[in-house]
Amino acid sequence: MDKRINPFNELYLTETIGSTEFVRLFSPYILKNAEALFLPGNVVLQGVQGSGKSMLLNLLKPEVRLAYAQANERFPVSGRLSRFIGAGINLTRSRSIDFGQRPIDPNHPNDHNIVPLYFGDFLNYWIVFDVLKSVDLLGEGGRHLKLDVSPDASLDTLNTFAIALAQDDCWFGYLRDIRDYKSLKERLSSRITHYLTFLNFNSQYLDAAIAETKTSVGSPVSSVAEHLRKTGVIEEDVELFVRIDQYEELTRLEGLYKQLGPLYRQVVNKAVGLRDPHVSYRIGTRRYAWNADGLQFFGTTGQLEEDRNYKTIDLDEILRRKENAKTWVFPDFAGDVFRKRLAFSGYNCEGRNALLRDVLGKGMEPDDKARGYAGKAPVRAIKLDESWPVSWKGFLTNLAQTDPLSARLAEAWARQRSKASVTNTVPEPPYPWSRSYWRKERLDQALMQIASRCGQRMIWSGREEVLQLSGGNILVFVSLCQHIWGAWLRTVRDRLSDDTAIPIIEESVQSVGIHEASTHWYQKITEDARGDTRQRFVRYVGALLEKQMFDDLPLSYPGHNGFSLSLDDLEGDAVVAQLLNDSVAHGDLFDAPHTTKEKNRKPRRKWYLNPVLAPHFRLPHVRTKEPMYISLDEIRGWMREIGIAVGGPATTVRNRSNKGEALDPGQASLFGEDGRQS
Amino acid sequence: MSQPLEDKINAWIRDKGFGPLIQEVNGKVLLLEQELFEEYEPTRGPYPSFRTRLAAWLDNIVDESSQRSLFQLVPHLFFLGPRELEVLYRVAFHTQIARWLIDQIGLTFDQASPENALQQAVASSWFCPITDSMRINAFYHLNHISGRDFRPDWRSLRQFGSEGKIRRYLTDQGIDRIVLLEDFTGSGDQMKKAVEFAVPFGMPVLVVPLVICPIGAQVGQLLSSQNPTVTFSPVISLQEAGFITAVARPDEEPLFGELRLIAIDMFNGLPPDKQIDVYTAFGFRGTGSLVVMYTNCPDNTLPLVHHSSPAWKPLFPRASRL
């Protein structure tokens, strides 16, 4: 084992490794809430980049099924849930998205209207061919390994199946002369090759026989499922699950045929909308590509309906933290992934039940963090008001020497409305600002301010904080681990030998890695559609919230690391709604409904930066108390500031007082020099 | 004992003010180290690694702020690794040299078999280095040039060569023109001497520095304007903004101002005999270059990068001729 290798170097490992390695690395924890994936019925598996969609869909592949059996490992699902065979298509790797790179019939006046028909036909042939590959794989290997879903792969049965399938009307005669299984596969393969040859500009025309036998999307897949059962190749209760992965690629088509993307989505929708009892589709898609605007069927005005046509498994929803931390599945999932990565790299993880905690520790206590920030000049942690009595100033100054966090909280206490009396009568311990909830709600804001006043970046470390910063996204978690491990490797590079002990990584080193990862995720925002605009918005909002929270001297608004807008306002401006929805769909912002504190009781929604961005923007990641309430005009003002054209009256972005009220325009520039370093 | 390098850098990264910048610089340094810096020939073999040298280099200075400035200098170094030089060899041949040859033989678009004519022109040209720093064999191999047994450097020819023998060789070999190449040209002194030696042989001369400093480029242009047979055509002409010289440029970035002071302090801290070795605080002829080639560090580069003595530990120690 080479200890210099970072176990987290490859972020997308489960997408690139072979089936045998997949068995070693797959974490079953995510399955608890994804049972629908193994039950009959169509499923849309959605989540932001890196949420684990492809990893889950890979579980449906026959190669993976066989690899589990070969390794003598229990398949992650059993009983009724395991009675399936899987096949499918990855829209990128199959090159389906190459449709649109070339007109099929340049002389046809409405070529772009007929291209989706060919796209659907290609999907049919690819999927059917893949079903047969699954039958072969599971038939040959599965019987040998005694897999109970193994098809009957005897030549007679398969030939009977092939002849029956070929006679189905859905092929429009293209398979009419098929007499056995072998020639069926050859014919299917030949048609796929014809398509790819044409799309790659290696032939001048598409075969005329193809133009005359275009199949209707979904029909051949239904037919193959029906005949597999009828002819006894698979048992009646064995489900056929068809994966369609990277559906979001259909929203990214560029160039001449950019307008075809929505039509291709409609083609896929049509297959799903067939509600065929013989076939269940599993569509893997990023959040932004699956929305109400794109659910129409090709060629009709009908559209997919959730629960009627499909169920949704929202991985983001499953993996993000809810109010009840005990039901949060992500920590176990992440811990298992962590352990498997280390074991895969050669570390001995036997008997280590809490490996993530062993390596990252619990993280620093808030008081220790404050002391770390304050260093040798802890008085920097507090700001004294000139009007305060000397005795109170002296008390705070002394307290800061031993407990800068308590001193900062005491300072805030004295600044809060109706609590100023404390400055005249210095209390004895236990101090009122140490009361459980008051203190807990303000800890992170106080620490953020102390770090800033002392010229330090915030320290992030320990298992809990790494999990929280991951925001329920396994890719973010692995990325954080990658940078933390990288930072650690740099500190031991001269000492590396054959010592293969699992390390305990110092908090200060973890923090460096976490800051690197945070910046990396901030820079990644630009990678997707409208990323430049979204990144500008995130940058603007991040800087604005950081300033608001820093300037809040009484710590009255510890929840202002997020903002809230009424649904009325949100629905009142399509441009605002689109930017916010886009930012959420791409994972830049997290959103949630919340109960309003206002008398009008209007429903509201709140938004926070993705927690992994918090270190980059020097913001606390913990959500507590009320977010910052803003109006439609205010957010329009933000958007104007970053060059987005929005409606409404021209407004100036307003600073807020440390009481949370908007101040008059004419205040000092929002991002001007604020002299915040003492 | 000084603080370990990683602890030092990590502490800088945790600072609110300069932390984000140092984090970015560190990322670049790590990448450059991995991709390029380990290629430096004078430190191959049993020699401290780049990271060890970096630690010692920063520790040349006590003041932490100055150490950070030095650290920020590293990504500004223009390091030419073997792959980069190979690209320059090819670019020189396919652009500077090809264009010149086309002009020389008057090749036109409508000419029959232009490739053959160009190959003939190559065959009747003599590609030689100006100094032994230029790896002329690699230039020949990469560009598939053959048919020339001798490829002497003209600095040595000027010193030891016989003009008569050279003339005979030119005649015997059917050479119609000379192409002089150099990997890095700083002040242009050696280039000037070599070209002045070549001109009297009475044939067209093309001078192709792969990388040249502004001061050297001026010399090259002057040579060309004074000698009708000389064409000066560098591949990369470095801009003045990438140099740290004794006089500040009005638009230079603040870091360069800090580094100027460090360079002067470093020079002043050297014993007189060592000061002679490095010429000035900004290197030979005060060039102030930031170029490092994998083969060696030019003496035109800031001495604080390459100078080695008990008083200063270098980042890229220079293998000196003398």
DSSP state string for B41-77: GGG-SSS--HHHHHHHHHTT---HHHHHHHHHHGGGS
**Separation CA A374–CA A42 (nearest Å):** 57
Q: Dihedral sign, CA of B185, B187, B193, B198? A: positive
Comparing A285-299, A420-434, B180-194, the range with the smallest average pLDDT is: A285-299
Mean pLDDT over each residue of chain A, to the nearest integer: 89
Interface contact B52-A451, CB threshold 8 A: no
Least Cα separation, residue B318 to chain A (angstroms): 25
State the DSSP code for A388: S
Tokens coding A399: 């307290």
Q: What beta strand segments (E) does A300-441 contain?
A: 311-314
| Cα of A600 to nearest chain B Cα, Å | 42
Q: Which two tokens stand for residue A672?
A: 């001007």
Please name the residue of chain B whose CA is at the shortest distance from the CA of residue A494. B52
DSSP code of residue A643: T
Q: Tell me what pLDDT residue A439 has.
A: 96
CB contact under 8 A, A511 and B23: no
How far apart CA A575 and CA A647 sit, in angstroms, is 8
Give chain B's mean pLDDT.
94
Looking at residue A22, what is its pLDDT? 84
Widest CA span of chain B, in angstroms?
A: 74
Q: How far is CA A106 from the centre of its chain?
A: 41
- The strand pairing partners of B282, in sequence order, are none
**If we measure between CA atoms, which residue out of B311, B248, B301, B317 comes closest to residue B275?**
B311
CB contact under 8 A, B6 and A490: yes
> Phi and psi at residue A73, in whole multiples of 5°?
-100, 145
Identify the closest residue of chain B to A448 by CA–CA distance. Answer: B16
Task: Tell whether A227 lies on the interface with B, counting CB pairs under 8 A.
Answer: no
Torsion-angle region of A458 (φ positive above 0: left; ψ -120 to 50: alpha; else: beta): beta
Of B23, B30, B51, Cβ closest to residue A515: B23
Tokens linked to A225: 């499922």
Q: At a CB cut-off of 8 Å and minimum separation 6, what does A195 contact?
A: A118, A122, A125, A206, A210
For residue B77, is pLDDT > 50? yes
Count A/B contacts: CB-CB distance under 8 Å.
Answer: 49
- Report the SS3 class of residue A2: coil
Yes or no, beta carbons of B16 and A516 under 8 Å apart: no
- Whether residue B52 and residue A457 make contact (CB cut-off 8 A), yes or no, is no
Q: At what angle do helices A574-585 and A632-641 cross, to 10 degrees?
A: 70
Q: Which of B6, B15, B30 sits opposite A456 (nearest CB)?
A: B15
A566: enclosing H helix or E strand = strand A562-566
Chain B nearest-CA residue for A460: B14
3 state SS of A562: strand
Burial class of A357 by CB neighbour count within 10 A (0 to 12, 13 to 18, 19+): middle
- CA A468 to chain B, closest CA, distance in angstroms equals 20
Structure token pair of residue A674: 């604020």
B10 and A451 within 8 Å at the Cβ level: the answer is no
Query: What pLDDT sits at residue A676?
Result: 38
* Cα separations in angstroms, A322 against A332, A650, B202: 15, 38, 86
Do B14 and A511 lie within an 8 Å CB cutoff? yes
Using the beta-carbon criterion (under 8 Å), do B19 and A457 form an inter-chain contact? Answer: yes
The answer to whether A512 contacts B20, with C-beta atoms less than 8 Å apart, is: no
Q: Dmax of chain A from CA atoms?
A: 101
- Give the nearest chain B residue to A489 (CA atoms): B6
Highest averaged pLDDT of the listed ranges A33-37, A617-621, B48-52: A617-621
Q: Is A455 on the interface with B (CB under 8 A)?
A: yes
Query: Given the DSSP bridges, would you call strands A84-90 and A311-314 parallel, antiparallel or unpaired?
Result: unpaired
SS (H, E, C) B183-217: EEECCCHHHHHHHHHHHHHCCCEEEEEEEECHHHH
- pLDDT of A672 reads 37
CB contact under 8 A, A516 and B51: no
pLDDT confidence of residue A49:
83
Binned at pLDDT 50, 70 and 90, residue A249 comes out as confident
- For residues B135, B140, B143 and B144, what is the CA-based torsion angle, rounded to 10 degrees? -150
- Best of A494, A510, A520 to mutate (most B CBs within 10 Å, chain B): A494
**Per-residue pLDDT, A2:** 65
Partner residue opposite B16 with nearest CB, options A451, A494, A511: A451
**Min distance A518 CA to chain B CA atoms (Å):** 11
Peptide bond into A262 cis (omega under 30): no
Helix (H, G, I), strand (E, B) or coil at A576: helix
- Quote the pLDDT of residue A546: 97
From the list B13, B16, B51, the residue facing A455 with the nearest CB is: B16
- A454, A484, A490, A673: best to mutate for the B interface, most B CBs within 10 A: A490
pLDDT at position A668 over 50: no
Band (pLDDT 50/70/90 cuts) for residue A258 is low
Model pLDDT for residues A332-370, shown as the tens digit of each residue: 999 999 999 999 888 999 888 899 999 999 999 999 999
> Mean pLDDT throughout A457-472?
96
B→A interface, C-beta within 8 Å: 4, 6-7, 10-11, 13-17, 19-20, 23-24, 27, 30, 51-52
Min distance B75 CA to chain A CA atoms (Å): 18
User: Which pLDDT score is estimated for A636?
Assistant: 95
| Alpha-carbon distances, residue A337 vs A141, A481, A482, A509, B167 (angstroms) | 29, 11, 13, 21, 74
Mapping DSSP to helix (H, G, I), strand (E, B) and coil, where does residue A258 land?
Answer: coil
Work out the number of other CB atoms within 10 angstroms of the CB of residue A646.
18
Least confident of A255-259, A288-292, B296-300: A255-259
Distance CA A467, CA A521 (A): 16
The C-alpha of B202 sits at a distance from chain A's nearest C-alpha, in angstroms, of 55
CB-nearest partner of A455 from B10, B17, B24: B17
In A, which residues are within 8 Å of B16 by CB distance?
451-452, 454-457, 618, 677
pLDDT band with cut points at 50, 70 and 90 for residue A256: low
* Mean pLDDT in residue range A495-517: 88
End-to-end CA distance of chain A: 49
**Cα torsion for A534, A253, A57, A228, to the nearest 10°?**
160
Residue A391 CA to residue A437 CA, distance in Å, equals: 27
**For chain A, percent of residues with pLDDT exceeding 90:** 62
Residues B80/B297, Cβ–Cβ less than 8 Å? no
Is-contact A625 A566, C-beta < 8 A? no
- Nearest to A47, CA basis, from A608, A607, A586: A586
Which of B9, B14, B15, B26 best tests the A interface by mutation, with the highest count of A CBs <10 A? B14
All residues of chain A having their beta carbon less than 8 Å from the beta carbon of residue B10 are 487, 491, 508-509, 512
Chain B residue nearest residue A452, CA to CA: B16
The residue ranking higher by pLDDT, A669 or B219, is B219
Q: Three-class SS of residue A43?
A: strand
Whether A508 sits inside 8 A of B10 (CB atoms) is: yes
* Three-state secondary-structure class, residue A48: coil
From A399's Cα to the closest Cα of chain B, the distance in A is 24
Task: pLDDT band for A566, please (50, 70, 90 cuts).
Answer: very high
Determine whether the interchain pair A457/B10 forms a contact, defined as Cβ–Cβ distance below 8 Å. no
Contacts of A457 in chain B (CB under 8 A): 13-16, 19-20
How far, in Å, CA of A145 to CA of A62, rounded? 13
What's CA A340's distance to the chain center, in Å?
20
Residue A267 near residue A294 (C-beta atoms within 8 A): no
Q: What are the percentages of helix, strand and coil residues in chain A, rounded to 5?
A: 50, 10, 40
The answer to whether the CB of A52 falls within 8 A of the CB of A29 is: no
Q: CB distance A457–B14 less than 8 Å? A: yes
Helix (H, G, I), strand (E, B) or coil at B40: coil
The pLDDT score that the predictor gives to residue A666 is: 36
DSSP H or E segment with residue B261: helix B254-268
Least Cα distance to A585 among A531, A639, A532, A632 occurs for A531
Of A270-274, A537-541, B74-78, the one with minimum mean pLDDT is A270-274
Q: Does A144 touch chain B (CB under 8 A)?
A: no
The angle formed by the CA atoms of residues A583, A581 and A256, to the nearest 5 degrees, is: 80
Name the more confident of A670 and A590: A590
From chain B, the residues in CB contact with A456 under 8 A are 14-16
Distance between CA atoms of residues A234 and A86, nearest Å: 12
Q: For the residues A567-577, what does the mean pLDDT come to? A: 90
Over 90: is that where the pLDDT of B158 sits?
yes
Tokens found for residue B132 = 């032994």
DSSP three-state, residue A485: helix
Please give, rounded to a whole number of angstroms, the shortest distance from the CA of A211 to a CA of chain B. Answer: 46
Q: Are strands A604-609 and A628-629 parallel, antiparallel or unpaired?
A: unpaired
3-state SS, residue A591? strand
